[in-house]
Amino acid sequence: MSKQVVSTSISVGLATGLYGISFGAIGVASGLNIPTVMLLSLLMFSGASQFAFVGIIAAGGAPITAISSAWLLGVRNSFYALRLSPVIGPSGLWKLLAAQLTVDESNAVSAAEDTPRNQRVGFWLTGAAVYVFWNSATLLGAIGGNLLGSVETWGLDGAAAAAFLGLLWPRLKNNLTLAALGAVVALIAIPLTPAGVPVLLAAAVALLPIRGQKWSSL
Amino acid sequence: MVLTVVLGSLAVFSWKLIGYLIPDRLVGKKGRSIADRMTVTLLAALVVLQGFASQNALVLDARALSLATAAVLLAIRVPYIFVVLAGAVVAGVSRYLGF
């Protein structure tokens, strides 16, 4: 495996996993106790779904509403799993572990690599790094809720934005139209729709018959 | 509440697992291509969300500077880890300076 895929995996894991601080703080502020907040990060392990879940609980929503919102927001992981399945080819119990670690970051790092070996290493290492950092950070945030401000003070939100751009970058060359459409749809949807929906709409853009993967004029 | 969390987690996990249980031959070329394209549109949306969203509003703040810096560094092929670090430093410093 190359050093590059290791450093990419760890940096993605750190930049996005540390967001767990926000989640931990918000979870406790929503009225959940620390073990329950931890259970969400350990078991659900899917940022958007978790934030939606605690948001609904905090607003006094019914359990079934919280469960179904979290479920709906998780649909993109299914598509990640579809494309990852032949790449990492897990068998037996490894399937369960691979499924748990299938998130935006692990899929994106894997997709950005070019050799099959690095695609596999990128998936497992990023998934493990995000899992470890996301859960440790959740605990930190849940215990010291007012750490919340530190996400911004330390520029972590800027790091996460840069991390996602860096993952998208190698794919822009061949998919500029698609990426631009996804971004525009999100921009329009953010002020108009509830949290989580912009991402769902951007996912739906992939279903449109937009001309191929090549963008030869570039 | 613990039961709600466990059920919710199982629901989310079901999406992830189903992708690994569907045999590759049933997915076909078209399915794989959609999954590939979705990786791109979702990453683009995540960049926008992470860079410009604040709850339900669009805002221009220190994160936009992080993104601009990251774009320049990526264009000149700086290794990924430094791009991420620069994103943090730029956001942190420009906030400290009052942006």
Q: Do A190 and B53 touch (CB under 8 A)?
A: yes
User: Is the confidence at residue A147, as pLDDT, over 70?
Assistant: no
Q: How confident is the model over A44-76, as pLDDT tens digits? A: 999 889 999 998 998 888 999 999 999 999 999
Do B90 and A155 count as a contact with CB atoms less than 8 A apart?
Answer: yes
A48's enclosing H/E stretch is: helix A47-58
User: Which domain, by its residues, includes A77?
Assistant: 3-151
- State how far the Cα of B42 lies from the Cα of A116, in Å rounded to an integer: 22
Per-residue model confidence as pLDDT tens digits over A129-146: 999 999 999 999 999 875
Task: Give the β-pairing of B57-58 and B53-54.
Answer: antiparallel
In terms of CA atoms, which chain B residue is nearest residue A10? Answer: B81
Q: Best residue in B30, B42, B83, B96 to probe A by mutation, most A CBs within 10 Å? A: B42
Which pLDDT score is estimated for B51? 94
Q: Is residue A65 part of a domain?
A: yes
**Mean pLDDT along residues A103-130:** 95
- Contact (CB, 8 A) for A40 and A50: yes
- Rounded to whole angstroms, the Cα distance separating A6 from A12 reads 10
Distance CA A192, CA A189 (A): 5
Give residue-wise pLDDT tens across range B33-86.
899 999 999 999 999 999 999 888 999 999 999 999 999 999 999 999 899 999
pLDDT at residue A1 in the model: 62
Total number of domains constituting chain A? 1
Confidence (pLDDT) at A26 = 87
How many CB contacts within 8 angstroms connect chain A with chain B? 295
Would you say residue A139 lies in a domain?
A: yes
Beta bridge partners of B54: B57
Tell me the pLDDT tens digit for each residue of A13-54.
998 888 888 899 889 988 999 999 999 999 999 988 999 999
Contact list, A95 vs chain B (CB under 8 Å):
17, 20-21
Is residue A94 in a domain? yes
**A32, A154, A166 member nearest B84 (Cβ):** A166
Residue B54: phi and psi, rounded to 5, are: -135, 105
b/e code A137-167 from CB counts within 10 Å (16+ = b): bbbbbbeeeebbebbbebbbbbbbbbbbbbb
ipTM value for the complex: 0.93
